[in-house]
């Protein structure tokens, strides 16, 4: 692995591109991308990640590397997913600004100067918006719109298109990101939670003419599940007791009131309780409530272990004047 700090002085812009079985698109992609980088008044590099492809992707990338030393190539031992690809790209990128792209020719490299111009307006993250998306309406566009609506409603960052692969980041933002699972689609929201200023601009989107899509309708379900993790980590990672404890108190409180009423009925009015389902419900609510409170306390202990063992800060400083 290269040392990004050592490269930072030599490179202004890094373009990170994960590839997975895109053998047919690579030559055309780099012809476009390197042509755009040639016209920029910046020292640029490309970090290409072969995410365990089973075709000739790596051989094509190695050929591009031989022709142009600005291209770095990382090859995974197996397919780890797009999040891992971006994480490896961020770790090996030396630029002060990092642009991410998909390698399937649907993102237009000509949009990179526009992303950089928007970043220069004082933003930390600029996300692309495929406002005229060239994909199948039922299997790609509709699930994407549903997912974007859910993510925007649940997070503090309102974007039209979280799934757009072309984005620009300042290096200090990517250095603060810890990526796991399939969190790549939530990067603007995670960055926004760190205090980053996030913007969105319309970008060109082209129909896919080579290779095949790796996503379908099932992606929406995974987005919802991942969003639950992001939302919890964003809002309650340092105070899990407020989630589990509140639910526990409500359940135990309702169950306790029900048991009190049932007890009064039995003691003072002689009402038989045997065989009444409400008795079991009251007991279940009390037991469940105590369990949730216990989960909250365990979560508090784990949160402290998580932050203290890694030296992970609970705040992010933007500026310091001293």
Task: Give the tens place of pLDDT for each residue, 123-178.
Answer: 999 999 998 887 776 766 777 787 788 888 878 788 999 889 999 999 999 998 87
Confidence at residue 241, expressed as pLDDT on a 0 to 100 scale: 86
Superfamily of segment(s) 4-236: Spore Coat Polysaccharide Biosynthesis Protein SpsA; Chain A (3.90.550.10)
Q: How much is the pLDDT for 121?
A: 97
Domain range summary for the chain, segments of one domain joined by +: 4-236, 241-308
Given a cut of 60, is residue 242 above it in pLDDT? yes
pLDDT surpassing 80 at residue 216: no
Helix (H, G, I), strand (E, B) or coil at 212: coil
Q: Distance between CA atoms of 45 and 49, rounded to whole angstroms?
A: 13
Q: Which of 116, 234, 109, 93 is nearest to 171 (CA)?
A: 93
pLDDT level of residue 1 (50, 70, 90 thresholds): very low
**Strand-by-strand arrangement of the 44-50 sheet:** 71-75, 44-50, 13-19, 97-100, 167-170, 125-129, 198-202
Q: Is the pTM of this model over 0.95?
A: no
Give the separation between CA 141 and CA 295, rounded to whole angstroms: 39
**Predicted pLDDT of residue 5:** 46
How far apart (Å, rounded) are the C-alpha atoms in residues 232 and 228?
6
Helices (H), 68-99: 82-92
């Amino acid at each position: 692995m290269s040392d990004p700090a050592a490269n930072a002085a030599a490179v202004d812009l890094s373009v990170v591109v994960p590839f997975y079985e895109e053998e047919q698109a690579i030559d055309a992609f780099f012809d476009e991308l390197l042509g755009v980088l040639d016209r920029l008044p910046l020292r640029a590099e490309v970090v290409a990640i072969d995410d365990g492809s089973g075709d000739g992707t790596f051989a094509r990338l190695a050929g591009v590397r031989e022709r142009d030393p600005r291209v770095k190539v990382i090859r995974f031992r197996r397919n780890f997913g797009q999040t891992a690809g971006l994480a490896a790209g961020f770790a090996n990128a030396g630029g002060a600004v990092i642009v991410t792209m998909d390698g399937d020719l649907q993102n237009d490299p000509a949009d990179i100067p526009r992303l950089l111009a928007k970043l220069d307006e004082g933003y930390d993250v600029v996300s692309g918006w495929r406002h005229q998306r060239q994909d199948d309406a039922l299997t790609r566009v509709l699930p994407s719109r549903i997912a974007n609506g859910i993510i925007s409603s649940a997070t503090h960052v309102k974007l039209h298109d979280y799934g757009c692969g072309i984005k620009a980041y300042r290096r200090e933002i990517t250095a603060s990101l810890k990526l796991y699972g399939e969190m790549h689609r939530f990067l603007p929201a995670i960055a926004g939670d760190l205090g980053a200023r996030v913007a969105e601009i319309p970008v060109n989107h082209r129909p896919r003419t080579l290779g095949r899509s790796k996503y379908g309708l099932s992606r929406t379900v995974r987005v919802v599940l991942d969003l639950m993790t992001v939302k919890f980590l964003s809002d309650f990672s340092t105070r899990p007791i407020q989630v589990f404890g509140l639910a526990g108190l409500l359940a135990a409180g309702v169950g306790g009131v029900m048991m009190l009423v049932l007890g009064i009925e039995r003691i003072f009015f002689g009402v038989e309780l045997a065989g009444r389902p409400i008795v079991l419900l009251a007991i279940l609510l009390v037991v469940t409530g105590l369990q949730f409170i216990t989960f909250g306390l365990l979560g508090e202990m784990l949160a402290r272990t998580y932050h203290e063992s890694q030296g992970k800060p609970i705040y992010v400083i933007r500026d310091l004047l001293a």
